[in-house]
Amino acid sequence: MSAALLIRAVIGAGAACEAVGTFAQQLIEHEGSWAVKKAQVSGGTTVTIVDNFLPPELAANWYTSLNATWASSAPCREDVSKCVATEEDGNDVCSWLYTTNSRGGNGKIRSVFQREERRRAVQSQYQRGAFAYSKWELTAGHTLYTAMGEMMSTKEVRSALARTTGLAPATSTTADTALGDITDYFVTAYDHGDFLSTHSDGASGSLAWVLHLSDGVWEAASGGALRFNRGRTHAQIDFAPSYNRLLLFLTRPDYVPHQVLLTKPAGHEPRFGMTGWYLTRGDHFSAATQRENDAMKAAASKATSHSQCL
């Protein structure tokens, strides 16, 4: 079975909207099985850790899908001359795009081309202590990207996360959620040598969420931890990208410096994850912040892999 057909199979039969509704319902029914902890990090911000976030079968299916798309894109990732602009069921062979930022700000480059040149540029910035990152992002037109994002957008899931973080009382309903819309999100793979240097997400949204779907036996020596930097009142703390772990933390109004440590995965599997942001009730972007957010979501930076191969 091809990777594209495998993804369709594990996402489920029927229309995408039906699958999304099923995923959200499964997640809410599974809420009682969440293992929730809290931790204080820099700036006095509280990180909510939710282990066993997705129902086990759904987590396993999405984990399998991520690995399938990663494997199917190997020709494109490893040799750009093999980048073929053919699509099957909406998912083509270049479904992961190398994503870098070596110029500061929120602009990004997503392309399978000029990888080595771009990698040298971001590594140079990183070594000088400037903001930069190196990672791979799943294309926005991919079925798995769409399904994951739409599930996290449902009122039921937003209400559950608001209750879990304490942004809403335990009795809140889907009609009374403290979380607004998702401002942006992406699915990432950090391969060997990838990283995200110290930054704050204030221009991205109010409540950040990071869902890890990496190998359940991820070793500390493989790097890739989400590190919250040392603050005046709190020590440095690292969160391993444990399988099926969701992390949530407020990024506004306080400055919460954090980073993804240099990733050196043992074996061949990268650090898979999904990152996004919600606005909270009463929060809004200033005109300047909206421009920054728009830059991160610019059409050119969200290019599909098909266009990258032309």
235-274 per-position pLDDT tens digit: 789 999 999 999 999 988 778 889 999 999 877 789 999 9
pLDDT at site 298: 58
Stronger pLDDT, 73 or 12, i.e. the higher one: 73
pLDDT at 234 > cutoff 50: yes
Measured CA to CA, the distance from residue 250 to residue 168 in angstroms comes to 14
pLDDT at site 303: 44
Question: Band of the pLDDT at 216, cuts 50, 70, 90?
Answer: confident
Domains defined for the chain, CATH in brackets: 3-82+148-283 (2.60.120.620)
Measured CA to CA, the distance from residue 253 to residue 246 in angstroms comes to 22
Measured CA to CA, the distance from residue 208 to residue 36 in angstroms comes to 16
Secondary structure (3-state) at 247: strand
Q: What is this structure's pTM?
A: 0.86
Q: How many C-beta atoms surround the C-beta of residue 241 within 10 A?
A: 26
Q: What is the DSSP track for 73-117?
A: THHHHH-GGG----EETTEETT-EEEEEE-SSSS--EEESSSHHH
Q: What is the pLDDT of residues 100-129, one digit of tens each?
A: 987 766 678 888 888 999 999 999 999 998
What is the rounded average pLDDT for all residues in the chain? 82
Minimal CA–CA distance to 207: which of 309, 115, 128, 282?
282
pLDDT at 140 > cutoff 70: yes
Q: What is the pLDDT of residues 52-96, one digit of tens each?
A: 999 999 999 999 999 999 998 888 888 766 555 444 444 456 889
Measured CA to CA, the distance from residue 160 to residue 152 in angstroms comes to 10
Q: Give the single-character DSSP code of 296.
A: H
End-to-end, the C-alpha distance of the chain in Å comes to 26
pLDDT at 304 > cutoff 90: no
pLDDT at 177 > cutoff 90: no
Distances, alpha carbon 178 to alpha carbons 157, 166, 169, 170, 308, in Å: 11, 10, 9, 12, 39
Stronger pLDDT, 294 or 13, i.e. the higher one: 294
Q: What is the pLDDT of residues 147-164, one digit of tens each?
A: 999 999 999 999 999 999
pLDDT at site 137: 94
Question: Band of the pLDDT at 1, cuts 50, 70, 90?
Answer: very low
Distances, alpha carbon 225 to alpha carbons 37, 57, 158, 242, in Å: 17, 25, 25, 9
- Within its chain, how far is the Cα of 45 from the centroid? 20
